[in-house]
Structure 1
């Protein structure tokens, strides 16, 4: 009976952590976009030829926040051998840094109109996520794979940001 309670408590803790990490990532991303006035004035910018329709962003970002949230949960909960502990720790720290940069980006780009700074931040985020993917392959391949769509989108968003910074 005691063992069953312990297992139930462990499962509840795991589900709670999943909800907090994934839900928190999604809520923070949503709030960052809403509070920064994301998309305000975007229509007036000269945009590159590969720019997708505006509605694409409101579909893609929640999916990416969901995937990267799951990835972060896996990064946190995967038990690793001692030899991979440094990669796990570095990956978690770099993931947190890229999330902070991601949350700042809409404020830099939309609210403060700092297009060049936003482009630099986007470039740093892309490098951070690339580093996370590489490190995650050492100890948690599913976490690495979940971040690949995010990495591809960030590289594309960096291209969009570079064009907008140069031509506006």
Structure 2
């Protein structure tokens, strides 16, 4: 492949990965309502300030986009079509699970359902790590902050459920 074609492919991979990460970030942000209901939840004393979550997610989305682009660029040959499609499907599923968590927790006000869903989100991140590791060690390393953050978020989610449950119509919070 000629150098101009490789450079164009690199730009396209970075642009697509950045747009995908931005889409997930915007949808997740639109799904997150830190209003009176959220403010009224009892939180564990070790919960970080709300202002930390935006920068943490920005960093994670940037790392995830970079990991996706790096792995994608390693799969540019036609013989890698199936692997490229699998990687794309795994990133798409992960993005959907990421947004779904926010919808469950903040919009539906069901931290208990979000706690169940976060297990699928965590597994999808682990799958991404395994898939990109086959093509780029750096890409796998770039996904580790995401895995660590979601592990922490799951622990925080569990604490919120324990401190505030039950949730739902029967509990008068839906």
TM range (shorter): 0.7 to 0.9
Q: 1:9: Cα distance to partner? A: 4.2
Choose the corresponding residue for 1:106, options 102, 107, 114: 102
Which residue number corresponds to residue 36 of structure 1? 31
- CA displacement, residues 107-156 of structure 1 (integer Å, 9 cap, x when unaligned): 11111112111111112111221222133323221110000000000000
Q: How many residues align?
A: 163
- Superposed CA RMSD in Å reads 2.8
Structure 2: how far apart are the matches of 1:11 and 1:49?
49
Q: TM-score, normalised by structure 1?
A: 0.82
Choose the corresponding residue for 2:146, options 131, 143, 150: 150
Structure 2: how far apart are the matches of 1:138 and 1:16?
22
Q: What runs of 5+ residues in structure 2 fail to find an aligned partner? A: 165-174
Choose the corresponding residue for 2:54, options 48, 55, 58: 58
Which residue number corresponds to residue 168 of structure 2? none
Cα distance change on mapping 1:137 and 1:20 into 2, 3 Å: closer
Cα distance change on mapping 1:113 and 1:139 into 2, 3 Å: same
Structure 2: how far apart are the matches of 1:88 and 1:23?
17
For 1:10-159, list aligned pairs within 5 A. 10-33=6-29, 35-40=30-35, 41-79=37-75, 90-159=86-155
- Does the Cα contact within 8 Å between 1:115 and 1:165 map onto a contact in 2? yes
User: Counting helix residues as a fraction of each chain, which structure ranks higher?
Assistant: 1
